[in-house]
């Protein structure tokens, strides 16, 4: 598991948006995203990020405090220490006040020709 310097997230909301700050949880600590643009309203796109500079044992997107948040697509761009940046894309999910989406994915394994 590499040290995570920073991550950026792009969220495309479906037919049910949410109000309030977009929060994530890293290693059991819940914090709001920074450098936010866009909206989490229905049919809108939101982008944000966070400078972590730590090891991500767990990293989740937190659901809204009230109601449902229908998410069509999530793209996470990871900027780890000592290895190349990488991205992951996640499909549709519905979050509520009791659910979180695991957005941490290990970096791809190196490939080489033999």
Q: Give how many domains the chain has, as a whole number.
A: 1
The verdict on residue 109 lying in a domain is no
Asked whether residue 114 is assigned to any structural domain, the reply reads no
pLDDT surpasses 80 at 102: yes
- How far apart CA 77 and CA 64 sit, in angstroms, is 22
CATH number of the domain enclosing 11: 2.60.60
pLDDT score, position 2: 80
Enclosing domain of residue 73:
3-102
33 touches 49 (CB < 8 A): yes
Q: What is the C-alpha separation between 89 and 20, in angstroms, rounded?
A: 24
113 is a domain residue = no
pTM: 0.90
Give me the pLDDT at residue 67, please: 93
What is the C-alpha separation between 101 and 43, in angstroms, rounded? 19
Is 34 domain-assigned?
A: yes
Average pLDDT over all residues of the chain:
94
Tell me if 7 sits within 8 A of 52, measured CB to CB: yes
Kindly indicate the confidence band of residue 9, based on its pLDDT and cuts at 50, 70 and 90.
Answer: very high
- pLDDT of residue 35 exceeding 90: yes
């Amino acid at each position: 598991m590499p040290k995570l310097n920073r991550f950026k997230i792009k969220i495309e909301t479906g037919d049910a948006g949410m109000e309030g700050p977009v929060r994530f949880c890293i290693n059991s600590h819940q914090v709001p995203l920074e450098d936010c643009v866009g909206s989490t309203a229905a049919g809108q796109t939101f982008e944000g990020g966070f400078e972590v500079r730590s090891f991500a044992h767990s990293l989740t997107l937190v659901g809204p405090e009230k109601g449902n948040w229908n998410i069509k697509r999530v793209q996470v761009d990871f900027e780890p220490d000592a290895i190349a940046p990488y991205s992951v894309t996640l499909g549709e999910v519905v979050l509520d006040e009791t659910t979180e989406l695991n957005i941490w994915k290990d970096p791809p394994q190196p490939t080489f020709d033999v």
